[in-house]
Structure formats: structure tokens, C-alpha cells
Amino acid sequence: YQNFGEDVRPDIITFGKKFQVAGILVSDKIDELPYNVFSDKVDEKLGFAPGVSRLNSTFGGNLTDMVRATQYLKIIDEEELIEKSREMGEYMLDRLIDIGKRYRDYVDNIRGRGLMIAFDLKTVDMRDKLFNCTIKNGLLLLKCGEKSIRFRPHLDITKEIADEGLDILDRSMKETLL
């Protein structure tokens, strides 16, 4: 949510996967639902709290994982990784737009927010050929949707690594699209 500025406060934030800890943060707005999954309010007709224990996770309540997650958040804050990822995302998106101009007959819908960046190719076959070529050339990207490629590098990616990856992508486009 930090990409939307300080004026935006979400009601719910969930996290997992790359964080290696699953979790959910919820504002007081959830209390507008009387028997929500966080509520211990007892339903008089049922004789128990219907919300209790409906929300569980593999990692929920594990002290070691909570300590690790706290350290992740501390590192993200101390190393200013949110701001750095915003800056690197803008840099990478600008470079990708420039690269895309050379292949405008094949590449479109270049988009991104922060370090979550994607683009479309005209056909599934073009996408698959480019995807295979990037792997052959040493760059691992992800297929998504019908004919898209996306990437989401680490929050601490450097300009040098970003340039190396985008250079491989450019070379792979030249090999497969022209």
C-alpha cells in the first residue's frame, strides 16, 4: 500500500510467499462485522463465538516466524527498501519502455508499479519463444496471463543487476522477434 502515499490507509493487508511468513493485519473497520474471523463475541443462539478459529495459517502464531518477520520489517525500514524499490522500479520501467519502442510491432502494454513490472507480446507463441530465449541467455522471467511476461526482482536490486537483466531481455527480443 505504500505505493499509494501516506494518505491511504488500507483496512486489510495480507502477506506471505517471499516474506516466508504468512500474516494479516486488520484495522478496526473489521469490527463492523459482528462475527468476523477475529471476533471472540459469543452468539447467544449458538452458545459459542462463530468467528474464533475460522482463520488459521500454517505459520500463524509461530514465535520464531513472528520474530523473523519483525526483523524483515526492520531491515526494510532501516535500508529504505520501499523508496529504493520505487526508484528502481521507475528506472527499470523507463528502460523497458525504451527497449519496447524498438520492438513496437511485437511488444505492448508495458506496465508496472514499484518492482512489479510486466509487458505483453502479440501472441502466445511469441511470448513462449521470448521466454525460452531469456532462459537460454541467463535471465529467468515469469509467464503470466495469456501472452504476458512479468518480473519482480528483489527489493534490494542494484542498477547494475537491473541493467544486466534488461540487456539480456533486449538481446533476447532481438534474437526472437526481429
**Which of 50, 78, 106 is a domain's end point?**
78
Transcribe 9-55 into DSSP letters.
Answer: --SEEEE-GGGSS-EEEE-GGGGGSTT-TT--PPBTTTTB-TTTTS-
Residues 54 and 135 in one domain: no
Q: What's the start-to-end Cα distance of the chain, in Å?
A: 39
Residues 43 and 107 in one domain: no
Number of domains, the chain: 2
| pTM (predicted TM-score) | 0.75
Domain with residue 136: its CATH number is 3.90.1150.10
Q: Which pLDDT tens digit goes with each residue over 129-163?
A: 999 999 999 999 999 999 999 999 999 999 999 99
Residues 87 and 24 in one domain: no
pLDDT of 111 higher than 90: yes
Residue 32's domain spans which residues?
2-78
